[in-house]
Amino acid sequence: MAGGDDLKLLGLWSSPFVLRLRAYEYIEEEALTNKGELLLKYNPVHKKVPVLIHNGKPICESRVILQYIDEAFAGTGPSLLPADPYERAIARFWAAYIDDTMLPVWNKSSTGKTEEEIAEGKKQSLATAEVLEGALRDCGKGKPFFGGDSAGYVDVELGGLLGWVRASDELHGVKPFDPERTPLLAAWSERFGALEAVEPVVPEVSRVVEFGKTMWKARLAAAAAAGASN
């Protein structure tokens, strides 16, 4: 990136949206419920991380930030998005699929109110992984990443979930990237996770599991309190 640029990233270590962007000076908010002064200042609308601060100006939402980086620092490294307009559209489509379709389904497998809802969430989680398996086959065209020979926009979008993907079996009894069911994604996750820029920032499975169980207990307590008040 260009010398002299002041870049800061507001985030939380466990957030998959933040993990997509962990290449800058990093300022961690203590918790999602403890909104720091910088977060409230730079993202007053949603009050959520991540927020990228570039020369004092905030950019919010992980997908918007990634596209901003691609444009603001064009020519200083490989582009995340393809040059071809159609391929750019396809990359944006799959990035949106990850956030808008896959993530809500995965969350359902851990936040369902009944055993039936949880079971259905797990079933749909595996189905979305199979859809992504097909996307990797078609987009990568036999190459290592969604972006081809090097990691691109969709790789970074999905790669932010690696910590949670690796912890999913222990947390929810689901292995989204199963070598038998989705061999391309299983191999991709190993390649992407081993990248020099990625490996140091992917959280350890044990830490994610501990955090996930804490959040689950907090949800149960909140639900119990709400039930008692009603």
Is the CB of residue 153 less than 8 Å from the CB of residue 80?
Answer: yes
Q: Tell me the whole-structure pTM to 2 decimals.
A: 0.81
pLDDT tens digits for range 171-205: 888 888 999 999 999 999 999 999 998 998 898 99
Q: Characterize the bridge pairing of strands 51-54 and 57-60.
A: antiparallel
CA proximity to 103, closest of 3, 17, 181: 17
Residue in this structure with the two tokens 């004092």, named with its chain if needed: 56
In whole angstroms, give the CA distance from residue 80 to residue 97: 17
Say which CATH topology domain 85-206 has: Glutathione S-transferase Yfyf (Class Pi); Chain A, domain 2 (1.20.1050)
7-73 has which CATH code?
3.40.30.10
pLDDT tens digits for range 19-55: 888 755 666 654 444 456 777 776 766 667 788 888 8
In whole angstroms, give the CA distance from residue 55 to residue 74: 17
C-alpha distance from residue 89 to each of 28, 85, 153, 160, 222 (Å): 32, 6, 11, 20, 41
Domain boundaries, the chain: 7-73, 85-206
pLDDT tens digits for range 128-155: 999 999 999 999 899 999 999 999 999 9
Structure tokens at 208: 């994610």
